[in-house]
Structure 1
Amino acid sequence: MYAQAFFLAVFGLAAIGFGVVVFRTSSMMRSALALLFSQTAIGCMFLVMQTEFLGVLQIMMMATEMSIMAIFMVMFMMDPGGMGGMDMSHQKSFSIGAGVVAAGAAIAVALLADWGPVTVEAPDAAMQTRALGLELLGRSMLIFETAGVTILTAMIAATAVAIPVQTPKYSAAKEGSE
């Protein structure tokens, strides 16, 4: 239990630290990587709390999303490396005040909320996944599962159709032999 709390604190502090780096760096590329590391640390927090499905899902989604975001930033931004002296922040005093108020509200909710009884051990991963699906989707779970499989099939089919078929060039060989 102490090791779990220790690693939860370590990954939580890492997530906060990388979250601060996102806003402190002038490079959009470094910001994307810091955001990736922050979200990965949150995924690791889910893993420490024995919610394997949410942890792996968080890590996989954020790795894909941040990779795509970094690629598009390099392709389309004027200065993705942050070498120019641009200042992208606006309304600094208002944003600092809003951040302090939001952080205070989040801390107040965390400290004053009734979190319910503490369970000794979490249910296995299959039960957690089923309970999460029922909690989020209710009666529509089968519909969303079917839609997910259909979308995945459509993405695979679209990729297969978009890839050109490479055919060997026999016409030059036939002309030379005649």
Structure 2
Amino acid sequence: MRMLKLELKIDGKTLKLEGEREEIVEEALKFLYNIYPKLSLINKIVVRPDIEKLIERISAFVKILEDGTLIIKGTFPAEKGILLALAAAKIGGDWGIREKYLGIRELQELLNIKNKTVRNNCSKLSKDGYIRRDERGKYIITNKGIYFLLESLFGEEDVAEVSGGG
């Protein structure tokens, strides 16, 4: 994992951090909570997917090869398959293994489903806010999409744990 550096200056107070992403985020949030106490209240309802826990949850269904190739294990309804594939692509992108976005053709080949089925499901998922389309016509999963995917695969209780929503 990469070591990161962060320096925050707010209202005359300074915080300098160096370390892994999770450590820096945790310490930066503590710093912000001390300056803005109401932030801790907001954090109780804000949902942020925990990527490491996401990986643990979906690793039985998806694999990412060293070259960035995605593998979906098993057969899923188109909607869940698309979300799983896009979640895996996002993880691969976050770790610098591959691009975070997938196109219609990539999804079609990866999931072995018809082009029209992929297009229709991507359109619906996009309208629902679960995925987002970029200017090149490729898709990425949103935080709402990750939340929905985990909720549909594992149930409400696990989503809160995975998402870290307090």
TM-score by length of 2: 0.25
The structure with the greater share of residues assigned to helix is: 1
Structure with the larger RCO, 1 or 2 (CA within 8 Å, 6+ apart): 2
The structure with the greater share of residues assigned to strand is: 2
TM-score by length of 1: 0.24
